[in-house]
Structure 1
Amino acid sequence: MDFEILHYDIDGVATAVRVIGKGPAVLALHGAATIEGTDWARGLADRFRVYLPHHPGFGDSGEATHIAGMQDIVVHNLRLVAALDLDRPHLVGHSMGGWMAAEMAVVAGERFGKLVLNAPAGLNDPDHPGADLSAIGPDALPGYLAHNVDVALRFFPGGAECPPLDAFLAARERESRALGNILKVHGMGHPNLRRWLARIPNETLIVWGEHDRMLPASQAPIWQELIAHARTLLVPQVGHFAMQEDPRVVRGIGDFLAS
């Protein structure tokens, strides 16, 4: 089964959406880069139609220099859902995309079905801090993304799923600028996110790799406590790229969405 690529103009921003599968709609939001691609979604495609947009300035989507924080991305995505004409799609977010999905559910949870937050960023809990990206060198980064570092290395220069070096570097530079626009106000989170999460009405699954070095799994109980209808799936022997490291993670997400 191959991906389709759809193109939309969302308030002047050229937005690319990869789509695969048939069934109930799932909107899946990537993290702070597009390094790991979208092949993981094939594990849902037999039961769901999965929509995987590239955020403004990321991947195949156009620039959006007006972005001045996460709230602009939340509005962009809500308008994208309307353009796609999706009726209460399930919402899945990984890392920064998990923070994004959580804020979308806070303000418009009734527009979505179930919610999956896979190692979500955003809380910045001082007792359970995430990794300091500025202190991680390029050679060390794969070890922060996957417990089995060989899985992450597939997506980096020399790996089987990495584009040519010049394309890889150009994408990282471009996405770094776009990420900076999202983070320029509050960094990787919002100081009031903890207060907002109680507004999420959706049945929610918190997914976390027990060996996540980017965002610690010790945050999972906090998210579960703050979201009324949440439960947690802790996955052994995987890291931040849990869906790429163990296909059972994707199957577990699918079982939750289908139940």
Structure 2
Amino acid sequence: MTMLNKPYVAAPEGFQPSEYDISGVRTVVYQSGRAPGQGGAQDARPLVFLHGAGTFTGFDFLADLAAERRVIVPYHPGFGESGDDPDIDDINDYVLHYLELFDAMGLAEIDLVGFSFGGWIAAELGVSRPSLFARIVLVAPSGLPVAEPPAADVMTIPAADLPGYLAHDTSILENKLPKAHDVDFLTLGYRERVAAARVVWDRPMGNRKLGRRLGRLSQPVLLVWGKEDRIRPVEHGDAWLDRLSDARLEVLPNAGHLVLDEAPGAIQSIAAFLR
């Protein structure tokens, strides 16, 4: 049962929601940018963005990308406005969900961008169906276990300390967090943490089998990282590079895990890569 079906924040101007029933799970998708038929090479290759394990920061940073192409932002089951699916307890359940969604939307060739937990899903999607994705961007992705330095286990970080793990400059969160006790905000956060926990609780570092499967990705991959990331340290980018055949790493200074919110240059680098 879905506890609340509303987002923390409004979508950027121009993004419109639509709904899909994917194996009985209500899946809400926001779309914007150039629609098919408006001309240009991007008509046949939309950009899909997969969000992280919390949606309270929104996706305002996608507005610039939406100005030049079709951008698709689905909410994972158990997150945002999508319905719950307590049967999802493995990352491959999300992979199959999205392959079904892409089929339902008629998407045949995609540029895929995934952030954090969404980056893990994106990597597993690419490994599962390499031919579906023209280019892939992984932004501070989880999913690949790296021994040193270890990733932070976000499920064990006290709520009061979490802003300092998410952002190098925590002032970027001032307009994204409630000023006082907010029951709806806390309920949404709990719901999303439960959904993420079903997948990561007994495997907080990721999928130990993913590393040897990343060789299936032959398309260009861009890795984007904040230099001050305390959740997935920037050194993890090198571990991904070692396992990908055609990849490069873009490191943004003075930015933490929320690099897309903190560093305008991150979106600029992604836009240039996807062109």
TM-score by length of 2: 0.88
**Structure 1: gaps spanning 5 or more residues:** none
What are the residue-to-residue correspondences of 1:70-219 with 2, within 5 Å? Answer: 70-158=91-179, 165-184=182-201, 186-219=203-236
Q: 1:134: how far off?
A: 4.2
Give the structure 2 partner of residue 224 of structure 1.
Answer: 241
Deviations 1:184-205 (A, max 9, x none): 5634411111111111122100
Deviations 1:71-103 (A, max 9, x none): 000000111111111121100000011111001
Query: 2:14 aligned with 1:2, yes or no?
Result: yes
Q: Aligned partners of 2:52, 2:155: CA distance in 1, in Å?
A: 17
Deviations 1:195-248 (A, max 9, x none): 111111221000000011111000111111101010110111111111111222
Give the structure 1 partner of residue 5 of structure 2.
Answer: none
Equivalent in 53, 56, 67 of residue 46 of structure 1? 67
Letter in 2 for 1:78: L
Secondary structure in structure 1 of the residue aligned to 2:235: helix
Q: Is the 8 A contact 1:43 1:247 kept in 2?
A: no
Indicate the percent of aligned positions where both proteins have the same amino acid: 37
Bigger mean CA deviation after superposition, 34-43 or 54-63 = 34-43
> What is the Cα-based RMSD across aligned positions, in Å?
1.5
Secondary structure in structure 2 of the residue aligned to 1:124: coil
Secondary structure in structure 1 of the residue aligned to 2:127: helix
Q: Is the 8 A contact 2:153 2:204 kept in 1?
A: no
Q: Structure 1 stretches (4+) deviating beyond 4 angstroms?
A: none
Letter in 1 for 2:274: L
Q: Is the 8 A contact 1:206 1:230 kept in 2?
A: yes
Q: Aligned partners of 2:196, 2:182: CA distance in 1, in Å?
A: 21
Equivalent in 68, 87, 102 of residue 89 of structure 2? 68
Deviations 1:10-62 (A, max 9, x none): 01110001112114410110111112112111020112211111100100000
Deviations 1:92-128 (A, max 9, x none): 0000111110010011011111000000001121112
Give the structure 1 partner of residue 6 of structure 2.
Answer: none
Cα distance change, pair 208–71 in 1 and its aligned pair in 2 (3 A): same
Cα distance change, pair 134–13 in 1 and its aligned pair in 2 (3 A): closer
Q: 1:154: how far off?
A: 2.6
Q: Is the 8 A contact 1:69 1:184 kept in 2?
A: no
Q: Aligned partners of 2:261, 2:30: CA distance in 1, in Å?
A: 18
Give the structure 2 partner of residue 245 of structure 1.
Answer: 262
Q: Aligned partners of 2:222, 2:145: CA distance in 1, in Å?
A: 20
Cα distance change, pair 244–51 in 1 and its aligned pair in 2 (3 A): same
